[in-house]
């Protein structure tokens, strides 16, 4: 048999990966039958071994991977660099998992089956662009805000139980006056055995911690704003769209927003596609509780901002309410229009970037 004939009869296979410390892989052929499974290290050399192993069974058409945003991020980048089609696989149905049980090999098999059948799969976000940089900075900012809030609570709780002379001195100050006063204190660190001194030392430490987190958040805000201005400057120029909401919507779209077939796909991901709730002679829709809840929250913030400041939005909501819709339903319709507007801006920006890249 010639080399060409040998190449023609090679069967197509699909890979599945369950991502943990070790990567358990199942490969299925075009009849959806498991061929083998193996474990590989989560290193670049391990990824290379895995790809070679998968290809030894036939022509690798695509790979299904769980958790491409966390444990599987490195493998995703490696396979995309190798020009392998990758699908992100959602967790299997709970009832099916209860019947079949769970281990890493079974999860890998489920990922392979899902990639083969095209069920419970989505096109994963790319993790090598400025949107990924934006995500990392936003995660850091979110945790810093949480830590700052906890620090403020500790300061307030400590003041409540502090000796009377300290409590009377601090209770009438505004928040930032209080923080700056505490950070400026210079208690005697060697006198920590005395109760009043111990309170002063603790409050000074918490005050300095709060200011450090406050400065850290301000620095991150500047960097996030710079990325948003570079990625989609037109987005923040629209009414009631700030840097935080714009950043979240860019994260939801991802670096490769071409993975959306239409603006309806983007709206569905944001959870603003209406869900049928009709019964008998009553025909109505209800709010969608699915999708990316952070993106849905961003759209809600924009809608409320426009409802307060934009005359056209106020007129639209009043018209919907006059037609018999509730205010919540009217805002749901408004969020759908905002999602369409945001999608158009992001896609227009991506088209401009692609054209400039091609011309270069």
Task: Calculate mean pLDDT across residues 34-47.
Answer: 91
pLDDT number for residue 334? 94
In a domain, 267, yes or no: yes
Same domain for 113 and 195? no
Q: pLDDT class for 252, splitting at 50, 70, 90?
A: very high
pLDDT at 64: 93
The secondary structure of the chain, three-state, reads CCHHHHHHCCCEEEEEEEECCEEEEEEEECCCCEEEEEEEECCHHHHHHHHHHHHCCCEEEEEEECCCCCCCHHHHHHHHHCCCEEEEECCCCHHHHHHHCCCHHHHHHHHHHHHHHCCCEECCCCCCCHHHHHHHHHHHHHHHHHHHHHHHHHHHHHHHCCCHHHHHHHCCCCHHHHHHHHHHCCCCHHHCCCHHHHHHHHHHHHHHHHHHHHHHHHHHHHHHHHHHHHHCHHHHHCCCCCHHHHHHHHHHHCCCHHHCCCHHHHHHHCCCCCEECCECCECCEECCCCCCHHHHHHHHHHHHHHHHHCHHHHHHHHHHHHCCCCHHHHHHHHHHHHHHHHHHHHHHHHHHHHHHHHHC
CA angle 177, 182, 185 (to 5 degrees): 125
pLDDT for residue 62 is more than 80: yes
Kind of pairing between the strands at 121-122 and 85-89:
antiparallel
The answer on 165 and 97 residing in a single domain is no
* Residue 24 reports pLDDT greater than 80: no
Residue where one domain finishes, among candidates 93, 122, 151: 122
> Considering just the CA atoms, what is the radius of gyration of the chain in Å?
27
Number of domains in the chain: 3
- Residue 8 CB neighbours (<10 A): 9
The pTM assigned to this predicted structure is 0.82
- Paired with 63 in beta bridges are 15, 86
Query: What's the mean pLDDT in 121-129?
Result: 84
Residues 74 and 182 in one domain: no
- Asked if 53 and 96 sit in the same domain, the reply is yes
Confidence of residue 227 (pLDDT cuts 50, 70, 90): very high
Mean pLDDT of 67-89: 91
Domain boundary among 200, 216, 231: 231
Q: Which of 46-60, 103-117, 143-157, 326-340 has the lowest mean pLDDT?
A: 103-117
pLDDT of residue 281: 72
Instruction: State which of 213, 231, 249 marks the end of a domain.
Output: 231
CATH of the domain at 25: 3.30.420.10
Helix axes 311-322, 327-359, angle to 10 degrees: 140
Q: Which domain holds residue 156?
A: 130-231
Residue 355, in any domain of the structure: no
Q: pLDDT band for position 4 (50/70/90)?
A: very low
Residue 186 Ramachandran class (φ > 0 left, ψ -120 to 50 alpha, else beta): beta
Q: Give the pLDDT confidence score for residue 290 in this predicted structure.
A: 77
Residues 268 and 200 in one domain: no
Mean of the pLDDT values across residues 181-192?
Answer: 95
179 within a domain of the structure (yes/no): yes
**One domain for residues 192 and 141:** yes
Q: Does pLDDT of 153 surpass 90?
A: yes
What is the pLDDT, as a whole number, of residue 356? 59
The whole-number pLDDT of residue 9 equals: 58
Residue pLDDT, tens place only, 7-19: 445 688 999 999 8
Average pLDDT, the chain: 88
6 pLDDT above the threshold of 70: no
357 domain residue, yes or no: no
């Amino acid at each position: 048999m010639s080399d060409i004939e040998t190449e023609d009869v090679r069967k197509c296979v699909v890979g599945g990966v369950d991502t943990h410390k070790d990567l358990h892989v199942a490969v299925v052929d075009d009849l959806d039958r498991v061929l083998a499974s193996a474990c590989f290290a989560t290193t670049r050399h391990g990824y290379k071994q895995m790809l070679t192993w998968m290809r030894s069974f036939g022509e690798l058409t695509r790979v299904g991977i769980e958790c491409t945003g966390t444990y599987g991020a490195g493998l995703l980048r490696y396979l995309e660099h190798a020009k392998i089609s990758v699908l992100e696989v959602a967790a299997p149905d709970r009832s099916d998992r209860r019947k079949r049980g769970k281990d890493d090999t079974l999860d890998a098999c489920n990922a392979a089956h899902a990639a083969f059948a095209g069920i419970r799969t989505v096109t994963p976000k790319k993790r090598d662009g400025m949107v990924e940089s934006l995500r990392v900075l936003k995660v850091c900012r979110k945790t810093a805000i949480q830590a700052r809030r906890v620090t403020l609570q500790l300061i307030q709780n400590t003041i409540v139980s502090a000796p009377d002379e300290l409590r009377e001195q601090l209770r009438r100050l505004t928040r930032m006056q209080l923080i700056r006063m505490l950070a400026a204190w210079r208690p005697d660190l060697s006198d920590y055995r005395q109760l009043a001194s111990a309170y002063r030392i603790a409050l000074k430490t918490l005050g300095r911690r709060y200011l450090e987190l406050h400065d850290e958040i301000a620095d991150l805000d500047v960097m996030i704003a710079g990325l948003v201005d570079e990625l989609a400057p037109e987005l923040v120029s629209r009414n009631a769209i700030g840097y935080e909401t714009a950043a979240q919507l860019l994260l939801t779209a991802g670096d490769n927003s071409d993975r959306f077939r239409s603006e309806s796909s983007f709206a569905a991901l944001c959870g603003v596609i209406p869900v049928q709730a009709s019964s008998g002679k009553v025909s109505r829709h209800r709010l969608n509780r699915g999708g990316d809840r952070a993106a849905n929250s961003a759209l809600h913030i924009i809608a409320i901002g426009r409802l307060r400041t934009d005359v056209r939005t106020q007129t639209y909501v009043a018209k919907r309410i006059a037609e018999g819709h509730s205010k919540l339903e009217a805002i749901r319709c408004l969020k759908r229009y905002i999602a369409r507007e945001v999608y158009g801006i992001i896609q227009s920006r991506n088209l401009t970037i692609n054209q400039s890249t091609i011309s270069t």
